[in-house]
């Protein structure tokens, strides 16, 4: 990995996180497009993300989120190619709580990339942002996604019935929670 962008968070020798910027819009759109059927299984926004302009709009929103001190969205770059995304959602400064969401291209699955990326954003949430709790929400049947909070020591706190609409059916959503004092880093 000879090129390393100046502003990034290194995950491992081959992988880094880069805050979403407009200049990434084309790569985001292409990756979504290549993984469309795969991502559509569990992510509700895939059908509304069809063009580079859609990706740019999402990125602009996520930069507004960062500008308003409500966390950020980052691309996951593996060997200098975009491979997925991870970010903060619903950051609440009063309750000192945030949710982490993520997705990864099919071809990168099974290498532990997302677990490392989550670990980084959890540490950032507790150490730099000073939060008290991180949550991860997954569809109950999305086993791959559920495996991550389990592996990282989260507690299952509830299953919200029919909490999310996925194009043509509802899915139940499991909430995993991790408190700052429980985090081993």
Task: Give the Cα separation of 93 and 168 in Å (integer).
Answer: 35
At 34, list the tokens. Answer: 């290549």
CA distances from 151 to 22, 43, 110 (A): 33, 21, 13
Give the shortest CB-98-to-a copy of itself separation in angstroms: 12
DSSP-derived secondary structure for 71-133: --EEEEEETTEEEEEEEEEEEETTTTEEEEEEEE-GGGTTSSHHHHHHHHHHHIIIIIS--SE
Residue among 26 and 107 whose Cβ is closer to a copy of itself: 26
CB of 96 to a copy of itself, least distance (A): 7
Q: What is the CA radius of gyration of the chain?
A: 16
66 vs 183, beta carbon nearer a copy of itself: 66
Least distance (Å) from a copy of itself to the CB of residue 156? 8
Site residues (vs a copy of itself, CB under 8 A): 5-9, 19, 21-23, 44, 60, 63-64, 66-69, 94-97, 120, 123-124, 128-129, 132-133, 135, 155, 157-165, 170, 175, 177, 179
Min dist CB 139 to a copy of itself, Å, is: 12
Q: Are 19 and 66 in contact (CB under 8 A)?
A: yes
Q: Cα–Cα distances in Å, from 125 out to 66, 90, 94, 183?
A: 14, 13, 14, 11
Question: Nearer Cβ to a copy of itself, position 31 or 99?
Answer: 99
Cβ at position 89, least distance to a copy of itself in Å: 13
């Amino acid at each position: 990995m000879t090129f390393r962008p100046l502003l990034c968070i290194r995950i491992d020798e081959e992988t880094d996180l880069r805050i979403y910027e407009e200049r990434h819009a084309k790569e985001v759109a292409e990756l979504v497009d290549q993984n469309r059927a795969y991502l559509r299984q569990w992510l509700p926004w895939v059908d509304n993300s069809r063009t580079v302009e859609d990706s740019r709009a999402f990125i602009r929103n996520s930069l507004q989120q960062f500008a308003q001190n409500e966390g950020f969205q980052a691309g996951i770059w593996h060997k200098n190619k975009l491979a997925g995304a991870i970010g903060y959602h619903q950051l609440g400064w009063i309750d000192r709580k945030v949710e982490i969401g993520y997705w990864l291209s099919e071809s990168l699955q099974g290498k532990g990339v997302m677990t490392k990326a989550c670990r980084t954003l959890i540490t950032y949430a507790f150490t730099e942002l000073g939060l008290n709790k991180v949550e991860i929400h997954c569809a109950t049947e999305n086993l791959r996604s559920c495996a991550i909070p389990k592996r990282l020591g989260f507690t299952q706190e509830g299953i919200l019935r029919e909490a999310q609409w996925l194009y043509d059916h509802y899915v139940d959503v499991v909430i995993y929670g991790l408190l700052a004092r429980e985090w081993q880093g």
